[in-house]
Amino acid sequence: MKSLPRPAVIALDVGGVLYHDEPFELAWLQEVLERTRLPLPEFERRMRAFYLSPNTHRTVFSPAGTASWTLVRSRWHTLVQPIPGALAAVGILSSRYELCVIANQPPECRDALHNLGLAQSMRVIALDSLVGHAKPDLVLFAWTLRRLGCRPEDLLMVGDRPDQDAAPALALGCRAAIVQHGDSWQAPAGTHPQLLEAYRRLLPERAVLNSPTIPKPWLTFPDLPSLAGALASDLPAPRGAAAT
């Protein structure tokens, strides 16, 4: 295994790293299903096209999709499900490194990070909805580096998607690590059982689609706690700790 880089700053994605994406997606899909009143087989066909077909127009569910997303954002804090061990891992990392967030998330994410006790650990919170550029656009990464006053080679991007996190970070000269997060999430109350089954069938196919067919010069970990443990295993005392 390649040696783990020792960065000056660690940039964290949010969805799939700190909290689960799936409850938000399912809440949105359930609301779209109710608004469109499509038969479930037809809805599944459109859902699969939405997520798996690159040439599908992203407004396949509009206007129901837009209205449904507004509703999901209004109840964002109720849908947050932290990934097991992630909050403690941030505590370990923040004792040794500067941290920031680079994520495609709505503005409500800032309040969610605050409610989880994570916002105060972040020097910069770069959300596409606030900066105006979304991953994998390099502009979002470059904007964050400028705000940090950090060189690309001194930043380690930690995400769950090679295409959205690792590939653009590496293209800019940063380093990258991919973490997995398992399936400990719970479907929101009221999710139609057949919708949940269709969504679960979709997830492995999306994972393949989101993995670039290129050499993988990034490290992979089972989860954020594993990465935090690897980084902390042979490092000096935490930042600010008294020498003995």
Q: What is the pLDDT of residue 4?
A: 61
Q: What is the pLDDT of residue 5?
A: 58
Q: What is the pLDDT of residue 190?
A: 96
Higher per-residue confidence, 206 vs 26: 26
Q: Express each pLDDT in 191-243 by its tens digit.
A: 999 999 999 999 999 888 877 666 678 889 999 999 999 987 754 434 443 33
The whole-angstrom separation of Cα 122 and Cα 88 is 14
Q: What is the pLDDT of residue 57?
A: 61
Looking at residues 136-144, what average pLDDT do you find? 97
Contact 36, 29 (CB under 8 A): no
Q: What is the pLDDT of residue 189?
A: 96
Looking at residues 145-166, what average pLDDT do you find? 96
Given its phi and psi angles, is residue 237 left (phi above 0), alpha (psi -120 to 50 degrees) or beta? beta
Q: Express each pLDDT in 162-203 by its tens digit.
A: 999 999 999 999 999 999 988 999 999 999 999 999 999 999
Parse the chain into domains and list their residue ranges.
Answer: 9-183+192-232
pLDDT(15) > 60? yes
Question: Parallel, antiparallel, or unpaired for β 155-159 and 175-179?
Answer: parallel
Find, among 183, 165, 185, 184, the residue nearest to 175 by Cα. Answer: 165
The pTM score is: 0.91
Residue 122: both structure tokens together: 């972040």
CATH class of 9-183+192-232: alpha beta
Residue type, position 154, single letter: D
Lowest mean pLDDT among 34-43, 44-53, 224-233, 235-244: 235-244
Computed over every residue of the chain, the mean pLDDT equals: 90
Residue 145: both structure tokens together: 């580096």
DSSP state of 212: -
Contacts of 80 by beta carbon, 8 Å cutoff, 6+ apart: 19, 23, 112, 115, 116
Cis bond leading into 7, ω under 30°? no
Q: What is the pLDDT of residue 59?
A: 62
The whole-angstrom separation of Cα 59 and Cα 71 is 17
Q: What is the pLDDT of residue 1?
A: 42
Helix (H) or strand (E) holding 170: helix 167-172
Neighbours of 8 (CB within 10 A): 13
Give the CB-side neighbour count of residue 151, counting CA atoms within 13 A: 4
pLDDT(77) > 90? yes
